[in-house]
């Protein structure tokens, strides 16, 4: 058993001043104010002084980092990405595909499923040394030509139950998030089936009008992918998909808060519309994250990176080099939210919207995936399953 204390700790019920958290066998067994509580005899105490203890971050949308792409067949790719993630406070993530030839996508889904299963059944200490893949995010090929962004147009597909089933079987049911454009033929049918299987269906890369977006929500979509990017613009007489997403309280939505993809005042607007419960931070990070300027891979194509901006063919934005700790700090600044409000959009909220049990919260019975932060949101320590990760 291990004990942890700090200046403050964030729980689902609120902030505890001078807390005491006990961890045993990778799970949280007690959380309380330290006042009046005794550290059990023989238990090692970690005292983090004036820092905060927060739930570990969870990234629903990430293509890579540290020079590696998650669709890369290189056996070193995912371990390198996972070691990079924990340095920025991410304890769980959803490796995200990009539109590619079907055979490449199927192979990538199978490899990612293998990795997830290996991590679940492997050596416990090794599993806890890095960020954990919690499922797969299928971004493309069921997206709009008009709003495809950098996704190669020649590999886009119309959604069908048969094609979804091929992806599902290749992933062995590990697809947990799927981005889809609701205006495509048969989209509602595929949305309904994916939702029935427990997939978080996310509307995105879409040119849908308001009514069509509402039909996607009625079919089972519960989320929206990188709000304002790769979507029909919000119009005051034609609200489109963004109007549906922003006003519907049953829908959560995520955003890339790097100051490049969305201007800070619009980030503030988004934060006000979706609130502390339904706003989610993502990075959409690519292999170039944490690397110098240059040319990098994103799926089957190349992306140029210069001074924090990633561009693909034609100068289109192609993911980001954002890290989650920076996204939280940016949200604090742009939306004028405090640390615990901003951090919840990167921990509690993504865990809740995707339905990951025992993640994203510091509570009795939850996995001991947590981070130690300064009051400004800088990551100092990262723990997965109660084990500290090397930085």
Segments making up each domain of the chain, as ranges: 57-357
Quick count: other Cβ atoms within 10 Å of Cβ 205?
27
Per residue in 245-286, pLDDT tens? 999 999 999 999 999 999 999 999 999 999 999 999 999 999
Query: How far apart, in whole angstroms, are the C-alpha atoms of residue 103 and residue 291?
Result: 29
> Which of these, 231, 286, 300, 325, lies nearest to 96 by C-alpha position?
286
Query: How far apart, in whole angstroms, are the C-alpha atoms of residue 9 and residue 20?
Result: 9
Predicted TM-score (pTM) of the model is: 0.96
Query: How far apart, in whole angstroms, are the C-alpha atoms of residue 225 and residue 216?
Result: 13
Query: How far apart, in whole angstroms, are the C-alpha atoms of residue 349 and residue 121?
Result: 27
Query: How far apart, in whole angstroms, are the C-alpha atoms of residue 66 and residue 48?
Result: 28
* Per-residue pLDDT at 290: 97
- Residue 128 banded pLDDT, cuts 50, 70, 90: low
Beta strands in 152-291 (DSSP E): 175-180, 200-203, 223-224, 253-256, 279-282
* Per-residue pLDDT at 279: 98
Straight-line distance from the first to the last Cα atom of the chain, in angstroms, rounded to the nearest whole number: 23
* 8 A C-beta contact, residue 299 and residue 139: no
Q: Is residue 389 predicted with pLDDT exceeding 60?
A: yes
Q: Which fold has domain 57-357?
A: TIM Barrel (3.20.20)
Angle at CA 54, nearest 5°, toward 50 and 57? Answer: 135
Write out the catalytic residue numbers: 284
* 8 A C-beta contact, residue 229 and residue 257: no
Query: How far apart, in whole angstroms, are the C-alpha atoms of residue 29 and residue 170?
Result: 37
* 8 A C-beta contact, residue 382 and residue 325: no
- Return the DSSP state at 234: P
Please provide the DSSP assignment of 53-111 as one string: EEEPEEEEEE-EETTEETT---TTHHHHHHHHHHTTTEEEEEEB--S--HHHHHHHHHH
* Per-residue pLDDT at 73: 86
Query: How far apart, in whole angstroms, are the C-alpha atoms of residue 287 and residue 315?
Result: 18
Q: What percent of the chain has pLDDT over 90?
A: 91
């Amino acid at each position: 058993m291990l004990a942890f204390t700090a200046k403050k700790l964030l729980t689902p019920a609120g902030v505890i001043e001078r807390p005491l958290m006990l961890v045993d066998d990778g799970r949280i067994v007690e959380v309380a104010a330290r006042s009046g509580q005794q550290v059990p005899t023989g238990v090692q105490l970690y005292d983090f002084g004036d820092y905060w203890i927060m739930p570990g971050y969870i990234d629903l949308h990430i293509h890579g980092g540290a020079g590696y792409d998650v669709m890369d067949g290189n056996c070193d790719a995912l371990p390198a990405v996972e070691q990079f993630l924990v340095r920025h406070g991410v304890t769980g993530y959803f490796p995200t595909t990009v539109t590619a030839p079907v055979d490449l996508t199927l192979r990538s889904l199978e490899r990612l499923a293998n990795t997830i299963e290996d991590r679940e059944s492997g050596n416990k200490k090794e599993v806890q040394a890095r960020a954990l893949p919690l499922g797969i995010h299928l971004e493309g090929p069921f997206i709009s030509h008009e709003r495809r962004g950098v996704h190669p147009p020649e590999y886009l597909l119309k959604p069908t139950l048969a094609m979804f089933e091929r992806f599902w079987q290749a992933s062995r049911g590990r697809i947990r998030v799927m981005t889809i454009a609701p205006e495509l033929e048969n989209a509602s049918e595929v949305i309904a089936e994916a939702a029935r299987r427990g997939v978080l269906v996310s509307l995105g890369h879409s040119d849908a009008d308001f009514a069509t977006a509402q039909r996607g929500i009625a079919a089972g979509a519960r989320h929206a992918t990188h709000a304002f990017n790769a979507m029909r613009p919000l119009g005051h007489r034609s609200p489109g998909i963004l109007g549906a997403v922003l006003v519907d309280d049953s829908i959560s939505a995520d955003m890339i808060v790097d100051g490049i993809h969305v201007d800070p005042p619009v980030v503030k607007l988004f934060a006000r519309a979706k609130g502390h419960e339904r706003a989610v931070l993502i990075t959409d990070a690519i292999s170039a994250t944490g690397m110098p300027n240059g040319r990098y891979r994103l799926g089957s194509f190349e992306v140029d990176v210069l001074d924090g901006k990633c561009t693909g063919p034609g100068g289109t934005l192609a993911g980001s080099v954002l890290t989650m700790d920076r996204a939280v700090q940016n949200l604090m600044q742009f939306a004028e939210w405090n640390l615990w409000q901003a951090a919840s959009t990167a921990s509690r909220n993504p865990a809740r919207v995707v339905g990951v049990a025992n993640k994203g919260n510091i509570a009795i019975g939850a996995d001991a995936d947590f981070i130690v932060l300064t009051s400004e949101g800088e990551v100092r320590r990262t723990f997965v399953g109660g084990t500290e990760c090397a930085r």
